[in-house]
Structure formats: C-alpha cells, structure tokens
Amino acid sequence: MQGLSHVPPAGSDGQSGATLMKVTVFGASGYGGQVLMRLLLDHPEVDKVIPVSSTSSGKPVDERDAGLGPDIHGKLPPGRLFLDRNEAIKDKPDAVFSALPHGASADFCEPFFGQSVIFDLSADFRLRNEEAHDKAYGSAAPFPSIRSAAVYGLSEVYADEIRKSDLIAVPGCYPTCCLLPLIPIAGAGLIRSVVTVNTLSGISGAGRSAKESSLFVERSENSVAYNPGQRHRHHPEMTQELKAAGSNAPLYFTPHLVPMRRGMASTISIPIEGDLGEIAEIVKSALVTAYAGQPFINLCGDSIPATRDVVGSNRCDIGWTVEGPTDGKSMLYLFSTIDNLLKGASGQAVQDFNIRYGFPQETGLPLRGEV
Ligand SMILES: NC(=O)c1ccc[n+]([C@@H]2O[C@H](COP(=O)([O-])OP(=O)(O)OC[C@H]3O[C@@H](n4cnc5c(N)ncnc54)[C@H](OP(=O)(O)O)[C@@H]3O)[C@@H](O)[C@H]2O)c1
C-alpha cells in the first residue's frame, strides 16, 4: 500500500494462517471503547484484548466500566488492568482499534503504522481531500504521506478495499446512517436537484467526557437542532461519499439531539418527477440489489423504522416511500435507523475487522436489537 509498509500476517503466533488475534483498544474507557471491549472480549477469533487508557493506565478496567462483567475467555492482561500505549507497542498487536478523538487518534496510532492493521473510529483519515479536512476540523490533516492508503470503512460499500487495507477510517455515525440509504439511490440516478437530511441522535453520540451540554438537566425532556448545514463536521464526509456514488446535488443536513441514550434516526427527502409507481420500483430495486446478502441491512419497505428495533444491534434498518401528486413534483422519503455506538462506530469497526481478515461479517456482532 502506498506510503505504508505492509502489515505482517495476522495471528498471535505470527504465522500465516493462524487465526487467533491479539488486538488493542485505545480510548477503552470512553463509550466507543467500552463497546469495542465488550465485542472483542466475546469475539471467537480474538484471544487477547489489550485495553489502553492515557488517564487510567495501571488501574483495573472495572473502575471505569463496572458493567464489563467477568472475562470468561481470559483475554485481558493480568489484573484486568488498563495499560499505557508503550506496553501495547511491546505487545505487537495484530490490530489496533482507536476510539480516540480526532487529532489524538492519528498521533497515538503512529507507532503502529506498518505493524498492525488500524481501525480508526475518529475522523483523522476519513476525508480524502486535505483541505476539506483542515476546514472541517480546524487543523492540518494528519500524516499527509499516508492518507491515500486509508480506506473509508463503510462496510457494505467498500468491502473489497477494506480486505486489502491496513488503515481503515471507520465512518462517523451520522454519515453511516444517511449514506447507507442514499448511496444506492444516488447510483440509480434519482438525486437530481437537492437532498434534505434530518437526523435525530442519542446523547452518547457526544462521547463520555463531562460537558455542560451533556448534563441530564440540559438533555432530558429537551430536543434541539444544532450545527445545521455545512457547519457540521460530518457534512464533507457525506458529500464526499455521495459524489463517489454519482451525485453532486447539494446536501442540506440538520442534526438534532433527542433525549435518548443511544440510537439515530434519519429522514431523507429527495424531490422526484415522474410516475410514482415506477419510481417506487426503481428505489426498491436499487436498495434490494445493493444490499442482497448483507446481514446488517434490513429493508423495511414502506414501514418506517424505529430506533428501538436497532439499538443493541449492528443493523441499519431502511424504509422508503414516494408521496405527492402523480402529475407534478413529488418526494421520495428514505428512513434509516442505527445504534450510533454499534453500526455507527464500534460495531462497524468490528465488521470491518471481520471483512479485513476474512471472517464471516456477522462474527461477534449482534444482529438483533434489545427488547
Ligand atoms: N460516540 C459515538 O456515537 C461515536 C460514533 C462514531 C464515531 N465516534 C468517534 O469515536 C471516537 C471516540 O468517541 P467516544 O464517543 O467513545 O468518545 P469518549 O467517550 O469521549 O471517549 C474518548 C476516549 O479517548 C481518550 N482521550 C480523550 N482525549 C484524549 C487525548 N487528547 N489523547 C489521548 N486520549 C484521549 C479518553 O480515554 P482515556 O483517558 O482512557 O485514554 C476518552 O475516554 C471519537 O473520535 C468519535 O468522534 C463516536
């Protein structure tokens, strides 16, 4: 791969063909890291999980996550301790999962470039255009010499590229929720003028760090839009991928915070012209063809998906309908739901890991939401 030396074969014994893997999790004390820990401790192809924390190294993982439960497979370091990054470097993990904020993530991963396969949950390598990154994140795009080696890890769209990559930029939660319904529709040529996206997000999307805007009193019984349009950092990520799918239409995106812990729901409106029945068939055919055999895409037809059906699962549920007068301008509505911490972050990272190493995509991932 360009700019990075190739990572040696996977397997704890360093031999090609061995499947049991050693992995490390950066930011293991945060929300994304906690979900990664749960998934990887139960993953049948992983035999060692090294939790790394800058602020809690040397302390038991249970101090930050009492809900982790017993390590029934014996995969944690002795004493169930968080380690620091240097200890993880010595351990030579096959794969690194980085659930750190952007900026910190790329720097933390640097010693592992060319040594381990990196699954970066942050935005550090998602945008191919460096200027777009600088503008959205207010700082220079990290490691320009290896950016082109990064693959955008939207599992259902880039599986072929993920299989060959050693640096996977796991998409953001909003882009995952919006792009999965949109990409096949863009590919079918149905987006001709504009796309309007409204997305509701649970509060865990803001991470675990203490801030006034995440306080219970601020967020409970309260819903609000924020950073509309290009002000939201995920806007360029969505337009990058829509363009790759064949649409240059302007995207009007408004995210909202709603009082729930986890979950994300998007409503997408696309003006259409023509026979509604024919368009409905094109929409159905585009989605069914794009996602045939994909275990985590659940096409709901004209049923509108709800967050409670996907929270706790790695699924994206997608519904659609066409509405309006038959002889004039009408609207295609797409609806999608995900769990922001699973399909929107850690679950998709593990799905990419499964794809990268040739394990069945479903390995170690929940297909069904909580009741
Ligand atoms: N939450 C979501 O729904 C979601 C969805 C998609 C993507 N993401 C992305 O995933 C990443 C993690 O998100 P999160 O929600 O898990 O965040 P979080 O709960 O705030 O956790 C981030 C962790 O990173 C570590 N950290 C923070 N600042 C650091 C720094 N300057 N240097 C080194 N380590 C630092 C901290 O752990 P230690 O002190 O223990 O090291 C912290 O617990 C972010 O890049 C986020 O954008 C999140």
Which residue's alpha carbon is nearest to atom 2 within ligand 1? 205
Give me the pLDDT at residue 176, please. 98
pLDDT of 11:
53
CA of 97 to the centre of ligand 1 (A): 11
Atom nearest to 32 CA in ligand 1: 16
Active site residue 173: yes
103 lines ligand 1 (CB under 6 A): no
- Res 371: pLDDT: 85
**Which whole-number Å values give the CA distances from 167 to 78, 113, 164, 321, in the listed order?**
29, 8, 9, 37
DSSP code of residue 229? G
Q: What is the DSSP string of 284-348?
A: HHHHHHHTTT-TTEEEEETSPP-GGGTTTSS-EEEEEEEES-TTSEEEEEEEEEE-TTIIIIIHH
Q: What's the confidence (pLDDT) of residue 2?
A: 47
- CATH superfamily, domain 21-149, is NAD(P)-binding Rossmann-like Domain (3.40.50.720)
> What six digits make up the tokens of 163?
């299989």
Predicted local distance difference test score (pLDDT) of residue 170:
98
Yes or no: say if 32 and 341 are a contact pair by the CB < 8 Å rule: yes
- Tell me the three state secondary structure of residue 203: helix
Phi first, then psi, for residue 136 (nearest 5°) are: -75, -35
3-state secondary structure of 254: strand
Pocket test for ligand 1, best of 26, 54, 176 (most atoms within 8 A of CB): 54
pLDDT at site 4: 74
Tell the residue nearest (CA) to atom 28 of ligand 1.
Answer: 101
- Kind of pairing between the strands at 195-201 and 251-257: parallel
Residue of the nearest CA to atom 11 in ligand 1? 99
Residue whose tokens read 């995952």: 176
| CB atoms inside a 10 Å sphere around CB 246 | 13
Identity (one letter) of the amino acid at 297? I
**Comparing C-alpha atoms, which of 242, 240, 119, 134 is closest to residue 188?**
242
What SS3 state is found at 256?
A: strand
Q: Which of 53, 100, 133 to mutate to test the pocket of ligand 1 (most atoms within 8 A of CB)?
A: 100
Task: Please name the helix (run of DSSP H) or strand (run of DSSP E) that holds residue 39, with its range, or none.
Answer: helix 31-41
> E strands, the chain, where?
21-26, 46-52, 95-98, 117-120, 151-152, 167-169, 195-201, 224-225, 251-257, 264-273, 297-301, 316-323, 329-338
Longest dimension (CA), the chain: 70
- The mean pLDDT values, 10 residues at a time, for the chain of 371 residues are 65 53 97 98 97 95 92 93 94 97 96 97 97 95 94 98 98 98 97 96 94 94 94 96 97 97 98 92 98 98 97 98 82 98 98 98 96 85
Residue minimizing CA distance to atom 4 of ligand 1: 205
Nearest to 233 by CA among 346, 139, 97, 315: 139
Topology of domain 174-340, CATH: Dihydrodipicolinate Reductase; domain 2 (3.30.360)
**φ, ψ dihedrals at 250, nearest 5°:** -65, 145
The DSSP symbol for 363 reads T
Q: How far is the CA of 342 from the centre of ligand 1 (A)?
A: 14
* Residue 358 neighbours by CB distance under 10 Å: 10
**Cα distance between residue 103 and residue 277, in whole Å:** 48
Torsion of CA 292, 296, 302, 305, to 10 degrees: -170
Q: Give residue 26 CA to ligand 1 midpoint distance, Å.
A: 9
- Ligand 1 centroid distance, CA of 245 (Å): 30
The catalytic residue among 173, 177, 178, 316 is: 173
| Distance from the alpha carbon of residue 99 to the mean position of ligand 1, in angstroms | 5
- pLDDT at 16 (0 to 100): 41
Domain edges within the chain: 21-149, 174-340
Classify strands 21-26 and 117-120 as parallel, antiparallel or unpaired.
Answer: unpaired
